[in-house]
Amino acid sequence: MKQFSSIFKFELSGYLKNKVFIGLTVVVVLAIALGLSFPRIKDVFKSDAGKVPTDEGDKTKIAVCVKEGMDEGTVVSLFQSAFGDEYEIKALNADEKELTKKIKDGDYDNGLIITSPLSYKYITETKEISDSTTYIANEVLVQLYRMSALTSAGVSPNDAQKILAQNVENEIVVIGNDQTQSFIYTYVIIMLLYMSILLYGQFVSQSVASEKSSRAMEMLVTSAKPVNLMFGKVLGSGLAGLLQFIILLMSAYGFYTINEDYWKNNEIIKSAFGMPLEILLYAVVFFVLGYFIYAFMYGALGSLATRTEDINTLTMPVTFLFIAAFMVIISSITSGNVDSTLMIVCSYFPLTSPMAMFARISMSTVPVYEIIISVAILIASEIAIGYLAAVIYRAGVLMYGNTPKIKDVLKLFKRQKQI
Amino acid sequence: MKFEVKNITKSFGEKQVLNGVSFETQSGSALGILGRNGAGKTTTIRIIMQVFNANIGEVLLDGKPLDTSKVNIGYMPEERGLYPKKQIMEQLLYFAALKGIRASEAKANAKRLLERLEMTEYTNAKLNTLSKGNQQKIQLVATLICNPDIVILDEPFSGLDPVNAILLKDIVKEMITDGKIVLFSSHQMNYIEEFCDDIVILNQGKVAVSGSIKEIKRGYDRKKIYVSSQNIKAINEFVSSNISHLVKNISEQGDGLLIELNAAQDKSQVLKALADCSVDIDEFKVYEPSLNDIFVDYTEGGI
């Protein structure tokens, strides 16, 4: 136990003294701070500019060329009220060629040529991803068409207006999880789990392989028990990782709280931080459990590398498996179907369960016994893989030369009676 | 304490590396394990350190199987290596902690050893800033920091300059006086001869010869004579023409001639003949084989 704690402390302090590790944490915290304070920063600059009255030129100018026979005034005023203050709608009498020229010259930003009551052409310099002009124009034109259809059928314009203005009211009662709310934070946490498990797993294999390539290994295996070395290393990097994970989560939460007022209108950010505490705790639990199973495998594989350059080749199968699991889970949460047979299987299989079970807990309603079974399987396989990793490590660390084949690794098991 | 290696046999796959290797030594003496490259020296040492398990055979300390986790053993592997990017004191203390040495004791030992090896100025340096020879000295400190009862050094002199080699030699001598069991392998016969009482020569995984150096030397037929003179040529001619029937082989060595006789009892005849010849003779003695000769004798033709 004393030996284990020496190794654990040595590994942990290795991370905490590592300039790259500290630097990375600081950079990410700064990025989070900057990202979450962005609206406030933007606002500071805006409020300076706000003293100058907003120029007409700030508005998006849209030219509307109306087909003959349509009431130009009504069309323009309807468009204006539908688009709102950010836009300036102007009637223009021009054909497509002239309008294109005017847009190119910068007289207008966009143009609409209404060719019939239910068709139009939209001319724009750059079609932006968030461009909703056609969506709004469609609404307005349909409204106009329905109005004229109703009035021509003998309904008074007033009644027609009333009929068209009717809305349906609804109320949604969510008994389990609201996926529209949980989707964002589930996505964010799954991404975090994925990145940190992969990163720290790689750190472990890196550290094992570098001890091997610096030949410190023979000193280590003749001084300490391999099980202690393996568990000390994995737990040491694990705690460093967990600390970093918690620092990042806390700084994100802190900077969000400071800037909460500025994010009032952003549903995505709001729902990401609207995560229930319970889910956050599950995230930490599955981070820890998921990390261990991969860290042991990465550690064992790292011990088979002769040089640090070999690590990538050796860890590729595990990394691919992990990426595949990630893809399955991401596509399931994106489609919203987190209780499919595949996901249920994944949520018990120890290599996928950390992410899959978390996704299910977060986005669906999972019975407690299922969670307990999944976690139990995970912990049992972790202990087994941990010991297995120690055996491979013990035997692998003194193998130099070619990257071993699976056959050679199996032979090691036969040869190794004690660890 | 009595240290025994009994009948160790080890094969890697098809290749038989060790075949019934046995030897023994005790506290306060040093045992040199000699052998050509690939003779099985490092494998033997690794089996003692339980890096590998032997297929057959055992390693005993006072008659009981050696448990490396219970006995304090200082081991310097042939593959030298520590943490290149860590501070020297930090990693020395780590290796001591792995051996279960208390931090205060480890610190005192490290200071004392660094001083003894003239390395104090590097206490807080990173290992990879040191020269190869100095890194080797740090490796020695890491080996001895646990104040071991048994010291196993695999090729300790390789990479050391003559001054550092003398320093190491002195330290090994101190350990022997302190009553430790010292085991080491080396190619440098002169060092081994200087402070090893006992040797084991391995050849192709087998013990070619083992025992005290004196007895091994005594075991050689005393039929080689060394004659030195200012005029070797004349002696050579005299021997060839007058007593050639007694001589098996004759060769020049340094300032003298090495004359191998057909039989050891012919020595006095040769002495008489040489005493009567007119050439001035400086020295006439029975030739004692050097460790080098013994080594070559036992390992030639092997591998």
Residue of A nearest to B70 (CA): A223
pLDDT in tens, A233-278: 999 988 998 898 889 888 988 998 888 888 877 777 877 787 888 8
pLDDT in tens, A4-50: 999 999 999 988 988 888 998 999 999 999 988 888 888 787 765 54
Report whether B222 contacts B300 (CB < 8 A).
no
pLDDT in tens, A49-101: 544 444 555 788 888 888 777 778 888 888 888 888 888 888 888 888 888 88
Q: Is the pLDDT of residue A418 over 50?
A: no
Which residue is listed with tokens 């987190």? A338
Q: Is the pLDDT of residue A398 over 70?
A: no
What is the mean pLDDT of the segment spanning B246-271?
Answer: 84
Give the range with max mean pLDDT: A208-222, A365-379, B208-222: A365-379
Contacts of A325 (CB under 8 A, 6+ apart): A346, A351, A352, A355, A356
ipTM of model? 0.79
Q: Is the pLDDT of residue B303 over 50?
A: no
| A3 to B53: CB separation less than 8 angstroms, yes or no | no
Largest CA distance in chain B: 75
**Three-state helix/strand/coil letters over chain A:** CHHHHHHHHHHHHHHHCCHHHHHHHHHHHHHHHHHHHHHHHHHHHHHHHCCCCCCHHHCEEEEEECCCCCCHHHHHHHHHHHHCCCEEEEECCCCHHHHHHHHHHCCCCEEEEEEECCEEEEEECCCCCCCCHHHHHHHHHHHHHHHHHHHHCCCCHHHHHHHHCCCCCCCCCCCCCCHHHHHHHHHHHHHHHHHHHHHHHHHHHHHHHHHHHCCCHHHHHCCCCHHHHHHHHHHHHHHHHHHHHHHHHHHHHHHHHHCHHHHCCCHHHHHHHCCCHHHHHHHHHHHHHHHHHHHHHHHHHHCCCCCHHHHHHHHHHHHHHHHHHHHHHHHHHHHCCCCCHHHHHHCCCCCCHHHHHHHHHHHCCCCHHHHHHHHHHHHHHHHHHHHHHHHHHHHHCCCCCCCCCHHHHHHHHHHCCCC
Q: What's chain A's average pLDDT? A: 84
Q: What band does B223 get if pLDDT is binned at 50, 70 and 90?
A: confident
Those of residues 170-189 in B touching chain A at CB distance below 8 A are: none
Tell me which of A322-326, B152-156, B197-201, B274-278 is least confident.
B274-278
A210 Cα to chain B: minimum distance (Å):
9
What is the mean pLDDT of the segment spanning B113-138?
Answer: 91
Quick one: how far is CA A280 from the chain centroid?
Answer: 15
| A219 to B84: CB separation less than 8 angstroms, yes or no | no
Residue of B nearest to A212 (CA): B81
Tell me which of A112-116, A141-145, A408-412, B147-151 is least confident.
A408-412
Between CA A413 and CA A88 the distance in angstroms is 77
How much is the pTM?
0.75
A235 Cα to chain B: minimum distance (Å):
17
pLDDT score recorded for residue A53 = 46
pLDDT score recorded for residue A48 = 57
pLDDT score recorded for residue A335 = 85
pLDDT score recorded for residue B37 = 85
pLDDT in tens, B152-184: 999 888 888 888 888 988 998 899 999 999 998
pLDDT in tens, B64-97: 999 888 889 999 988 888 898 899 999 999 999 9
The torsion region of residue B35 among left (phi > 0), alpha (psi -120 to 50) and beta comes to left
Q: What percent of chain B has pLDDT over 70?
A: 99
CA distances from A159 to A34, A70, A74, A139 (A): 53, 21, 18, 19
Q: What band does A414 get if pLDDT is binned at 50, 70 and 90?
A: low
B32 Cα to chain A: minimum distance (Å):
21
What is the mean pLDDT of the segment spanning A342-355?
Answer: 91
- Looking at the partner chain, which of B51, B53, B100 has a beta carbon nearest the beta carbon of A398? B51
pLDDT score recorded for residue A417 = 47
pLDDT score recorded for residue B276 = 82
Between CA A137 and CA A160 the distance in angstroms is 20
Between CA A373 and CA A160 the distance in angstroms is 61
pLDDT: which is higher, A367 or B299: A367
Residues of chain A that touch chain B, judged by Cβ-Cβ distance less than 8 Å: 2-3, 6-7, 10, 14, 211, 214-225, 398, 417-418
Contacts of B80 in chain A (CB under 8 A): 215
pLDDT score recorded for residue A401 = 55
Q: Is the pLDDT of residue B151 over 90?
A: yes
